[in-house]
Amino acid sequence: MVRTRVVGCAAVAAVAVLAAAGCGEDNSPEALLGRGHATTARLSVESDIPSSDLAQGTEALEKFLRRYPEHTNLDSAQFMLASLYLAGQKFDEAAQMLIDLQAAHPKSRYAVRALVLAADVFENRLSDAKKALAACERLVEQYPEHDFVTNGSAAWLLNNVGKSPEEWDIPFPTDSVASSDKS
């Protein structure tokens, strides 16, 4: 009876130590992606997520990327992590994650969005027009048939990167708008 209690107490203590160390946590790829996705989804509906929740989602996705570098959803995890970095105002990390995503997964459904968002982060968050321009040029060079390029949006970005809003080339006829108001 005494021996059973000692072994039982040791087992309970071991489980407590493992749980405190996070070893009892589900670290499967699905669970890690799920935690990251849940946090990212909250960003789309809540304007202010507690930093502890943001940190948990970020940690789950970082762990996913370290443990499962060949997983089929790697590009999705990278895009979600970049979103969480942006929400946490980690702009350097976000921009680099977006550039890395596009470089590693050029055929991903996130590739074009990653370059557009990276250009925005470089210009508007990091005040680095040179890197913003490089992201735009890469977009036009690598995705010449994409709608964002063919509809003129990419050209507009290329022409206006590094300019203040007052200097932007706004592509709409202001004179016709003004004259139609007079009638």
**pLDDT tens digits, residue range 50-101?**
999 999 999 999 999 999 999 999 999 999 999 999 999 999 999 999 999 9
pLDDT at residue 28 in the model: 96
Q: Which two tokens stand for residue 86?
A: 């942006």
- Residue keyed to tokens 């027009």: 129
pLDDT at residue 4 in the model: 43
Residue pair 36/84 in contact by the 8 Å Cβ criterion: yes
29-34 average pLDDT score: 96
pLDDT class for 15, splitting at 50, 70, 90? Answer: very low
Q: Using CA atoms, how far apart are residues 129 and 131, in angstroms rounded to an integer?
A: 6
**Rounded mean pLDDT of the chain?**
84
- CA nearest 153: which of 130, 173, 136? 136
Global confidence as pTM: 0.76
- CA nearest 82: which of 147, 108, 70, 168? 108
Residue 153, classified by CB atoms within 10 Å of its CB into exposed (0-12), middle (13-18) or buried (19+), is middle
Residue pair 171/156 in contact by the 8 Å Cβ criterion: yes
Residue 48, classified by CB atoms within 10 Å of its CB into exposed (0-12), middle (13-18) or buried (19+), is exposed
Residue pair 43/87 in contact by the 8 Å Cβ criterion: yes
Q: Which two tokens stand for residue 182?
A: 């007079």
Q: pLDDT digits over 128-181, tens only?
A: 999 999 999 999 999 999 998 888 888 888 888 887 777 877 765 555 555 555
List Cβ neighbours of 37 (8 Å cut-off, separation of 6 or more).
Answer: 80
H-helix segments, the chain: 2-20, 29-45, 51-67, 74-87, 91-104, 111-120, 129-142, 147-150, 153-160, 174-181
Answer whether residue 124 shows pLDDT above 50: yes
pLDDT at residue 41 in the model: 94
The more confident residue out of 12 and 144 is: 144
